[in-house]
C-alpha cells in the first residue's frame, strides 16, 4: 500500500488544517480519508472526520467553515446547510458509516449526473459551487439545482478541469485539457481565452489564483507567472527559468509560491524572493494569515510518513510542521 497526502488546505477554523490522505495504487479508485487537525491550542488534536471508502479527490472550505468534497465516483459531499434535490442515480457509497456519523458534522451527499469523475471543487462565494471533472465538463450548484456545463475541454474530448479561480459566479477561470488551456466563464457559458501554451507555456497543474488587485495570476512552465483581467490580454509578471512552480496561493497579503526543492517564494518589487528553503514545497494552498504546504512523503522498511508545513501568523513560531505515520 502506498499512502499519499493528496491535498492540505486551511481548516474551518483559524489555526486548523484539513488533510486528504489516500491509499494510492495509481488509479482513480483510491479510498480517501479526511482528517481535521487543530493546532490552535498547546495540545495538537487530529480527528478523522470523513471516511466511507469513496475515492475523495478534492476538498474546499468556505469562509464560513463549510467543507465541500468531490470524489472520483462522481459524489459531492458537504457540511453546508443545503438541500440537494432527489437524484435517480444511486451511488455505491453513502453516509452510513461510523466515521461520518461520529464526525461532529452533518454531512450531505449528491451524485452527479452520468456519475462523472469529480477532480476539482471550488466556489467564489460559498454558494455557487463549481465541480470540474475528468471529462472536462463542469457541474455548477447554484444553491438550488445542479447544471452540467460544456467547456472548451469537454467539446474537444480533452481531459480534466484542474483548477478554478475567480471573483464571482460570472467571472471564473479554469485550467483544462491536460493543463494546456485556460477557459473563462462569464455566468452563461465557458469560452476559450487568448492563452496560448506555445507563447505562455503549459500551465502548472495548480498554478492559478485570483489576486485582490483584480488580476488572475497564472504559473506556467519555465518559471513564468502571467496575469490577466479578461483572459484576452496577458502581462508577464516575473520569470525564472530555473524555478519549477507547482502551485500558488494568496495569503499573508502576498502571493505564496510552492517551488519544489527550492522551497517557498513570493513576489516583491517584481522579483521572485525566497521565503523558505528548508523543505521541499510540493503544493501550497491557503488564504488570510495561513498557508499550508505538502511535503514529500518518506518511506522506511516498516512505515510511510506523509507531512505538511504551516506558515501562520504567529510571531513566536510562524512555521510549523506536522507528520502522519502509517504502517506498511
Count the Cβ atoms, other than its own, within 10 Å of residue 245. Answer: 28
- pTM value is 0.95
Q: How many CA atoms lie within 13 A of 253 on its CB side?
A: 1
Q: Give the pLDDT of residue 218.
A: 96
- pLDDT given for residue 84 in this prediction: 95
Distances (CA, A) of 60 to 8, 217, 303: 10, 20, 29
For residues 67 and 54, give the distance between their C-alpha atoms in angstroms, rounded to a whole number: 16
d(CA 136, CA 1): 30
- For the sheet with 283-287, list strands across it: 283-287, 290-299, 303-311, 319-327
Task: List Cα–Cα distances, 271 to 48, 103, 225, 284, in angstroms.
Answer: 41, 45, 11, 19
Cell numbers 456519475 correspond to 115
* Contacts of residue 213, Cβ cutoff 8 Å, sequence gap at least 6: none
Backbone angles phi, psi at 225, to 5 degrees: -120, 120
* CA nearest neighbour of 170 among 234, 124, 137: 124
The DSSP-derived string for 214-277 is SPEEEEETTTEEEEESSSS--EEEEE-TT----EEEEETTEEEEE-BTT-EEEEETTEEEEEE-
Grid coordinates belonging to 97: 458509516
Q: For residue 131, give the nearest of 185, 51, 86, 92 by alpha carbon.
A: 185
- pLDDT value, residue 114: 66
Give the span between the Cα atoms of 70 and 91, in whole angstroms: 13
The pLDDT score that the predictor gives to residue 26 is 62
The residue ranges of the chain whose pLDDT is under 50 are: none
pLDDT at 225: 97
Q: How far apart are CA 328 and CA 320, in angstroms?
A: 26
Through-space distance between the first and last CA atoms of the chain, rounded to whole angstroms: 7
Amino acid at each position: 500500500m502506498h499512502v499519499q497526502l493528496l491535498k492540505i488546505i486551511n481548516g474551518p477554523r483559524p489555526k486548523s488544517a484539513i488533510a486528504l490522505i489516500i491509499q494510492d495504487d495509481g488509479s482513480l479508485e483510491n479510498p480517501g480519508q479526511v482528517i481535521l487537525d487543530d493546532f490552535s491550542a498547546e495540545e495538537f488534536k487530529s480527528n478523522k472526520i470523513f471516511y466511507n471508502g469513496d475515492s475523495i479527490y478534492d476538498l474546499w472550505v468556505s469562509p464560513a467553515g463549510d467543507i465541500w468534497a468531490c470524489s472520483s465516483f462522481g459524489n459531492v459531499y458537504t457540511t453546508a446547510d443545503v438541500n440537494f434535490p432527489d437524484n435517480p442515480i444511486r451511488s455505491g457509497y453513502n453516509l452510513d458509516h461510523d466515521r461520518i456519523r461520529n464526525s461532529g458534522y452533518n454531512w450531505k451527499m449528491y451524485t452527479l449526473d452520468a456519475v462523472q469523475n469529480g477532480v476539482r471543487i471550488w466556489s467564489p462565494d460559498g454558494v455557487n459551487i463549481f465541480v470540474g471533472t475528468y471529462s472536462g465538463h463542469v457541474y455548477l450548484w447554484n444553491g438550488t439545482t445542479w447544471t452540467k456545463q460544456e467547456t472548451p475541454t469537454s467539446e474537444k474530448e480533452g481531459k480534466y478541469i484542474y483548477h478554478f479561480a475567480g471573483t464571482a459566479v460570472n467571472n471564473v477561470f479554469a485550467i483544462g485539457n491536460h493543463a494546456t488551456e485556460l477557459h473563462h466563464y462569464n455566468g452563461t457559458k465557458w469560452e476559450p481565452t487568448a492563452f496560448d501554451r506555445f507563447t505562455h507555456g503549459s500551465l502548472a497543474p495548480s498554478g492559478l489564483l485570483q489576486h485582490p488587485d483584480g488580476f488572475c495570476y497564472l504559473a506556467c512552465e519555465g518559471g513564468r507567472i502571467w496575469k490577466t483581467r479578461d483572459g484576452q490580454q496577458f502581462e508577464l509578471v516575473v520569470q525564472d527559468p530555473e524555478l519549477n512552480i507547482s502551485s500558488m496561493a494568496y495569503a499573508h497579503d502576498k502571493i505564496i509560491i510552492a517551488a519544489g526543492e527550492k522551497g517557498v517564494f513570493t513576489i516583491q518589487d517584481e522579483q521572485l524572493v525566497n521565503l523558505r528553503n528548508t523543505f521541499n514545497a510540493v503544493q501550497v494552498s491557503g488564504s488570510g494569515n495561513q498557508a499550508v504546504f505538502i511535503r514529500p512523503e518518506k518511506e522506511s522498511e516498516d512505515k510511510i510518513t506523509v507531512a505538511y508545513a504551516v506558515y501562520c501568523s504567529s510571531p513566536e513560531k510562524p512555521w510549523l510542521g506536522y507528520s502522519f505515520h502509517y504502517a506498511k
